[in-house]
Chain A
């Protein structure tokens, strides 16, 4: 062009070829765009119900909209004589917008909305803003149902938690077995509780490996001859031997079996596919079980470490709930609030008993904690049903 000299000779042929090639590409994409437009036009016309908003010179008509939560389609018709942009605002934050709507144009905006009250802009800045009320969908219709992809992060984090806790359980089981086999009753007794607590943390998903669950955590009631039954094994068999019978005789094979089961559980958890439903539903189920009155309370019928085992069960359930919370609070904020209250109440009661210094609990205390745990379990089940997690 204006340059009289070429300081850097660009490879002329390459530039020419590039020029022609990019021009051809432009023509090709214009043709592709044209056909895509035709195809899209045919495919359309099956538009679902939409909300029409007309922007006049002074305001939106209607100036107050009510829609249901979930996917919404807005048809924005500009009947003013100015170019407008239409925004849905949450406070100052722009949630969605459509720009450059020329006078006489109608444009569409499709978006998913959570329940709440929003503002909408209506043309000129000086025009009053409209209101958009997004109402929660009754009976938890499909619109309120969180997408499974929303849970990916929570599920991954829960998997990490389970893996860590299973590792801890396997280590505790090994230590337990070593203590039992070395004949050290005091050490064996001391090794019991850590294993029980680590196992209680992963209990919400125990229905997903029911064979190992039976081998590790079955209680004497499940056997025909109760404690005397030769099939009675696992954590509670060891607990029974150590704390009720006060000896180590016959426990070595049981301890070895427990360590082997713990190792198998590690592999099983590694391959486990968890769904959000097992997080909420499993937590509820395990709480109900831990709350059972009587000697089974807190899963420590012989050692009477009622408080720590109960607390560990609560902690396991809480982990699952905390991970579900960001999704749950959108769908069912009032249930989340109820669950928070349940947990806070349990924390307080547990702290009171801890201050008293007794691990074993008297029956009235068990009944009180049991009642609170049942309330929590009920709310967790409610959450599972409302969020419709069984997808």
Chain B
């Protein structure tokens, strides 16, 4: 029972996490009014997944795993780009505000609304990315002899949704300074995991076949389908036996981006005259 639960939890968290991050970002930038639109994005993505599932079933086609992998890789790469640019944009904006005086920083963000719409599109893609695969997993679960498997799988989805909401609710409570600094670092780690998993998906789609030697295999110690492994792989993209290309891409992204983000130097992106404000954290 545990494994169907964990599989759906992991797939669900991958989507819910991105949605939670985007929702908290929208809310912290004074766009709380967008929240219903976030829900619209989620509903549309779920409808999309169900309709694709219905069409494939009527056409008597089984789940196209390779196409799904390509879909997953493409959206994963888009998500990495969106999340990374969001982090660096937040960092730049955070330098130019007096965080303590504002509970909300709407005035500081004069971003055009197409940015908001782009983030809603990202919500749709993030949910659709896992949605189609999850629909088929649930379907398989319902077709098994064991009656508890589908219930456990559904419980996994629900818990994943709660985690996504928790990310949103938790980061909304942080004070702005910490929000920018620590969620930024957290998002970069998430993005690195997404990137490594996109490389893995590209391999499974049959497109990327270089650097497939296994660097280390700790699937005996911390398997990805154990409870902790599922949490780690859902949130941070943990892979229990990474290949050379996944490993290189992960570190190659994470180390420079974290360094750029945390290095507290008056970068060219900082607003001049405000750089003497050192973040509190």
Contact = CB atoms under 8 A, between A and B. Distances in A.
Interface of A: 1-10, 15-16, 18-19, 22-23, 25-26, 28-30, 32-33, 35-37, 39-40, 43-44, 81-83, 87, 91-100, 102-110, 124-126
A142 B252 CA distance: 49
Contacts of A35: 54
Interface string B7-46: 1000100000000000000011011111111011001101
A97 B204 contact: yes
A125 B239 CA distance: 12
By secondary structure, the A interface counts as mixed
A124 B43 contact: no
A3 B220 contact: no
Of B6, B212, B214, most buried by chain A (CB within 10 Å of CB) is: B212
A37 to B, nearest CB: 6
A3 B7 contact: no
B241 interface: yes
B37 A15 contact: yes
B206 A29 contact: no
A59 to B, nearest CB: 16
B237 interface: no
B227 interface: no
Given A33-B135, A100-B7, A105-B149, A93 B209 contact: yes
A238 B246 CA distance: 71
A93 B206 contact: yes
6 contacts: A3-B104, A29-B51, A87-B204, A92-B203, A94-B206, A102-B141
Contact of B40 (A3, A18, A40, A107): A18
B60 interface: yes
A82 B3 contact: yes
A9 B35 CA distance: 13
B37 A1 contact: no
B241 A125 contact: yes
A127 to B, nearest CB: 11
A36 B104 contact: no
By secondary structure, the B interface counts as helix
A100 B225 CA distance: 10
A124 B47 CA distance: 35
A7 B141 CA distance: 46
Contacts of A108: 62
A40 to B, nearest CB: 4
Nearest to B68: A99
A22 B50 contact: no
Contacts of A126: 217, 219-220
Interface string B132-152: 010101011100111001000
B204 A100 contact: no
Contact of B219 (A5, A33, A124): A124
Interface in B211-270: 212, 214, 217, 219-220, 223, 225, 241
Of B30, B219, B241, most buried by chain A (CB within 10 Å of CB) is: B30
A5 B65 contact: no
Nearest to B230: A83
B280 interface: no
A16 B35 CA distance: 11
B58 interface: yes
Given A4-B103, A7-B30, A32-B50, A22 B40 contact: yes
B57 A3 contact: no
A33 B51 contact: yes
Contacts of B43: 19, 22-23, 25-26
B7 A102 contact: yes
B184 interface: no
Contact of A5 (B28, B30, B66): B30
B212 A92 contact: yes
Interface in B183-222: 203-206, 209, 212, 214, 217, 219-220
Of B57, B58, B139, most buried by chain A (CB within 10 Å of CB) is: B57
Contacts of B63: 98
B113 interface: yes
Contacts of B162: none
B27 A33 contact: no
B62 A16 contact: no
B53 interface: yes
Sort A-B residue pairs by CB-CB distance and give the 6 closest, nearest first: A3-B32, A36-B54, A1-B32, A22-B43, A40-B57, A29-B50
B77 interface: no
A99 B139 contact: no
B27 A2 contact: yes
A33 B46 contact: no
Given A18-B40, A37-B57, A8 B209 contact: no
B160 to A, nearest CB: 14
Contact of A4 (B7, B58, B104, B149): B104
B106 interface: yes
B278 to A, nearest CB: 26
A286 B271 CA distance: 78
A39 B60 CA distance: 10
A221 to B, nearest CB: 57
B75 interface: no
Of A15, A91, A92, A100, most buried by chain B (CB within 10 Å of CB) is: A100
Given A81-B3, A83-B6, 13 more contacts: A1-B27, A2-B28, A6-B30, A15-B37, A18-B40, A29-B50, A36-B58, A40-B57, A83-B7, A102-B141, A104-B146, A105-B144, A126-B217
